[in-house]
Amino acid sequence: MTSRVLVVLWLALATMPLAAAEPAPAVDVSVYSRTDDFNSLQISPSGEFYVAVVPRDASSTLVFLRRSDNSVAWVMESVDRRYIHSVDWVSDRRVVYTYARSSGDRDTPLRMPGLYGVNVDGSERRELFGMDVADFINTYMGRGIRGRRSTARAVARVENNAWLVGTLPEDPTRVIVEVHDGDDKTPVSVEWLDVSDGKRELIAASPVDRANFLVDASGELRFALGAGDDNVQKLFHRQGAGAPWALVNDPAASGRVEVPIGFAADNRTAFFTSDHATQPDAVVAYDTRTGTRREVMRDAIVDPAAVIPALGNPAVLAGVFFDGPMPATRFIEPASEDARLQRVLEQAFAGMRVTVTSSTRDGKLAVVLVTGPGSPGDFYLFDTTAKTATYAVARRAWYDPDTSATVRPVRLEARDGLALHGFLTTPKGSDGKGLPMVVMPHGGPFGIHDSLVFDADAQLLAAAGYAVLQVNFRGSGNYGRGFREAGARQWGRRMQDDLTDATRWAILGGIADESRICIYGASYGGYAALMGVAREPDLYRCAVGYVGVYDLQQLTTFSRRTPQYHEAWMSDWVGERRSLGSVSPVNLAANIKVPVMLAAGGMDPVAPVFHTEAMEKALRKAGVPVETLYYPNEGHGFHAPEHREQFYRQLLGFLSRHLGGSQAAAARPAP
């Protein structure tokens, strides 16, 4: 993919031949461990420029490109451990952006305080609002990470800052921000912020703590959704500038949580996601004048996953993406131009996930991201008039999708009859039967879910000859409130049973060779891997825990500065501290009868390294074979490509010794 290719959408991809090749006996792990070339690509309102987020080993930065020839207009220097969290065009030549903190490649980026502005040529670059980023990093990543110190100090320090609420297509000089000013108990305000000099003007005070906001298609502040210490999300609405806030949903009374996701072009009809005790979330239309609601769409299996904004007007909701066993898009008006264009794209890129990431002000040009379970993603420029797409850039230009393994959705039932959905990856060219298998639980665990997307770990393992089973156990997101709440206080209990049941399903179905199954996961998945071999000593032949938590009683230890809502969440979802010793792997090492591999970073604020050190000590005391990999300068997952490569090498070697799959190929000499 070194040249830009013109694609006639309804014709070109249908005739592309598929290459067939046997998996290599040894795996080039660098293909899976390298850092992406691009994270995102967005077009400017006029269509003259792109802005791209380009990752580095332990940071990311902005690059501005001229659309006419893809030449570089300006590159912002990168700074260690600063990641671009969001970037938004506010005019034809200026963007505002925010940073995120991420301690490792398995860490969910934490949006950092501060809002910044810069022009496409690098001029007028300045911090518009917020605390110094380096100070935040030092606070969050500093002294005490190896110990049991809560991160509450860092949480408290981010309260005096601003987050972006919305941009104004008709006003390129200002944006709308929410301002947290003071301690955690202080309600936020919403203000205008001048993107040149940082001057602020009050729009309204929030009616609720910890609020998020939604503006309508004209840029008017309309909704606030927030919660107090009880974590009950209340929704407020106002009719317009100067109007009072009115409570429109209190879950204590209605029995449902409603989240505003967009407006119709008339600014009267708003759209919410609305949850249900026994069904997936629905999209409902809310008449802001009469207060009436009507259901617009609901999937039979999964929740709404992402909004689809109208081309040229991102504040208007055109449709919704559902991340189901087979991903699907649905539109508020099925006959609309936005719906028609999406269908053209989906027909051209059959079997792929097609997402419009940005468009010009007139809607004539759009950047489209095309991804799939075998493709990390390619960006195209879509001409909505000519119905053609021009190849722009790839996330991983070196990766050949034709080498990818097969991924298919699966459904099974847990022992109590609960339906479980997941994905099975099998080696390219195999018949999918009698394979050595790796069960790979996701992290999180609550609200996170596996989906039909490119997964480097799964593809790596399949390249080594393994089937990979990923199951969305109870507590996972995307399958409705009832499914998520079924995992409350079920760490090591019913959540673990779901993984066991899925493993036995694969054995009974002839997919897995029952004598060659390992369980491997990161973060919560690392916990589940160790609990798996502790609870089912005869089911698995080995376990791998990567940046895992193994002592739940330490996970629920709080300091005096920990926000009360966080303590309440931990009690509700993980459990009372005194009940967690029996489901902590660190206390169950004597039950483990198979070899274990552990890997961790010494600067991990999510799963501090003492969890892994204690688990290693307990295993050695119990006489369990254990091998480890520690990097003192890494966090929640390994940032440096060479560290990820070494982890993958050791992982494949460990699995090969116990399951018989391929090992890593010899390292390539440095150029």
Q: Which of 465, 460, 469, 438 is nearest to 645 (CA)?
A: 460
> What is the pairing mode between strands 94-101 and 512-522?
unpaired
Q: List 204's β-bridge partners, or say none.
A: 190
Assess whether pLDDT exceeds 50 at residue 493. yes
Q: Which of 94, 100, 2 is nearest to 51 (CA)?
A: 94
Q: Which of 388, 306, 288, 398 is nearest to 33 (CA)?
A: 398
Q: Which residue has the higher pLDDT, 235 or 10?
A: 235
Assess whether pLDDT exceeds 50 at residue 196. yes
> What is the token pair recorded at 592?
């483990």
pLDDT, one tens digit per residue, over 368-391 is 999 999 999 999 999 999 999 999
Residue 584 near residue 556, CB atoms below 8 Å: no
> What is the token pair recorded at 564?
């009360």
Packing angle, helices 494-508 and 524-535, rounded to 10: 70
b/e for 333-363, b at 16 or more Cβ within 10 A? eeeeebbebbebbbebbeebbbbbebbbbeb
Choice among 4-13, 50-59, 247-256, 660-669 with the minimum mean pLDDT: 4-13
Tell me the mean pLDDT in the region 229-236.
Answer: 89
pLDDT grade for 563, boundaries at 50, 70 and 90: low
Residue type, 18: L
| SS3 assignment, position 661 | coil
Q: What is the DSSP letter of 527?
A: H
**Domain ranges in the chain?**
305-395, 401-659
Tell me the mean pLDDT in the region 554-563.
Answer: 60
Tell me the mean pLDDT in the region 515-544.
Answer: 98
Q: What is the DSSP letter of 637?
A: B
Residue 506 near residue 518, CB atoms below 8 Å: no
| pLDDT above 90 coverage of the chain, percent | 75
Assess whether pLDDT exceeds 70 at residue 562. no
Return all residues near 340 (Cβ < 8 A) that are at least 6 apart. none
Distance CA 333, CA 342 (A): 12
Distance CA 48, CA 217 (A): 24
* Alpha-helix residue ranges (DSSP H) falling in 550-593: 552-555, 564-573
Which residue matches tokens 């997936």?
A: 280
Tell me the mean pLDDT in the region 39-64.
Answer: 94
Residue 398 near residue 31, CB atoms below 8 Å: yes
> What is the token pair recorded at 46?
């006029």
Residue 92 near residue 45, CB atoms below 8 Å: yes
Choice among 137-151, 217-231, 300-314, 495-509 with the minimum mean pLDDT: 137-151
Q: Which of 171, 431, 168 is nearest to 313 (CA)?
A: 168
Tell me the mean pLDDT in the region 31-57.
Answer: 94
pLDDT, one tens digit per residue, over 248-303 is 999 999 999 999 999 999 999 999 999 999 999 999 999 999 999 999 999 999 99
Choice among 140-144, 383-387, 408-412 with the minimum mean pLDDT: 140-144
The predicted structure's pLDDT at residue 137: 46
Instruction: Supply the CATH classification number for the domain 401-659.
Output: 3.40.50.1820
Distance CA 238, CA 671 (A): 61
pLDDT, one tens digit per residue, over 574-633 is 988 888 999 999 999 999 999 999 999 999 999 999 999 999 999 999 999 999 999 999
Residue type, 260: P
The predicted structure's pLDDT at residue 139: 46
Q: What count of Cα atoms within 13 Å lies in the side-chain half-sphere of residue 165?
A: 32
Tell me the mean pLDDT in the region 533-558.
Answer: 92
Residue type, 582: S
pLDDT grade for 556, boundaries at 50, 70 and 90: low
> What is the token pair recorded at 467?
């089937």
